[in-house]
């Protein structure tokens, strides 16, 4: 089921619709392969951790920024209205500007978060010899890693070691990206989240406005701030 059904309805027939449906399909695919890994290993981040969002702000490709913008317009219209004016209401200067310190789950755009936030801590990679390799998130404490009986001497594990410690290797990041239609067709030029997100929100609102829907379900009232080409 789509996380942005009303926005898609308003954009049907446009290029933006195609981009949004492609990246949503890619995100769903990532979710499904990671779900298999989680079910086999039960290796979940500690409750309410959020350390990976500290001192970090994602760089976004156009398609990721577009999806995040659509998700915020659909699910948090009043926040979208502020971000469209370059105001980030959760910004505390120390974390990603979308990190909500007052929420147990921290990420205020969880359903619209970009690839890096979906893959970090839940993917593996190929080493120089093309062997599948897994490195647990660097923010996990030794105490936490001891609970799953990991060898703490090197913290980088071969496929066999990973299977013996936790039961399965997470999906390989490059495989996921190579099977991602939106990643392959994107320009891959990335821009810092706080620079690109306001423009993308305004772009979507403008196109919805041009389609004759000034007040889309789940979007702020009124016309967008600045017109941008589709
Ligand atoms: S988008 Fe969400 S998960 Fe990603 S860094 Fe920001 S707060 Fe964290």
Tens digit of pLDDT for each residue in 87-133?
999 999 999 999 999 998 899 999 999 999 999 989 999 999 999 99
Nearest CA to ligand 1 atom 4: 117
Nearest CA to ligand 1 atom 5: 53
For range 59-69, the mean pLDDT:
97
Give the Cα-Cα-Cα angle 11, 13, 17 (nearest 5 degrees). 50
Token duo for residue 137: 């998130």
Residue 219 confidence (pLDDT):
46
Q: Kindly give the number of the ligand 1 atom that is closest to the alpha carbon of 58.
A: 5
Mutation pick for ligand 1 pocket among 53, 97, 194 (CB with most ligand atoms within 8 Å) = 53
Residue 121 confidence (pLDDT):
87
Record the pTM. Answer: 0.89
Residue 215 confidence (pLDDT):
56
Tens digit of pLDDT for each residue in 179-222?
888 887 888 899 999 999 999 999 999 999 988 766 544 444 44
Question: What phi and psi, each to the nearest 5 degrees, are found at residue 191?
Answer: -135, 145
């Amino acid at each position: 089921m789509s996380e942005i059904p009303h926005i898609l309805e308003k954009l049907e027939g446009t290029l933006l619709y195609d981009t949004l449906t492609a990246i949503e399909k890619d995100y769903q695919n990532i979710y499904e392969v990671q779900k298999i890994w989680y079910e086999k290993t039960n290796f979940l981040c500690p409750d309410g951790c959020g350390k990976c969002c500290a001192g970090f702000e994602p760089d976004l490709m156009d398609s990721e920024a577009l999806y995040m913008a659509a998700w915020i317009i659909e699910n948090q219209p009043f926040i979208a209205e502020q971000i469209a004016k370059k105001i980030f209401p959760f910004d505390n200067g120390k974390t990603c500007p979308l990190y909500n310190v007052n929420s147990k789950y921290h990420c205020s755009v969880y359903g619209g978060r970009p690839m890096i936030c979906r893959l970090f801590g839940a993917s593996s990679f190929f080493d120089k010899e093309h062997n599948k390799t897994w490195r647990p998130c660097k923010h996990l404490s030794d105490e936490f890693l001891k609970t799953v009986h990991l060898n703490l001497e090197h913290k980088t594990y071969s496929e066999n070691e990973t299977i013996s410690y936790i039961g399965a290797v997470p999906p390989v990041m490059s495989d996921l990206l190579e099977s991602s239609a939106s990643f392959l067709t994107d320009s891959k030029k990335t821009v810092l989240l706080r620079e690109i997100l306001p423009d993308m929100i305004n772009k979507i609102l403008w196109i919805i406005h041009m389609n004759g829907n000034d007040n889309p379900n789940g979007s702020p009232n009124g016309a967008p701030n600045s017109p941008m080409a589709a």
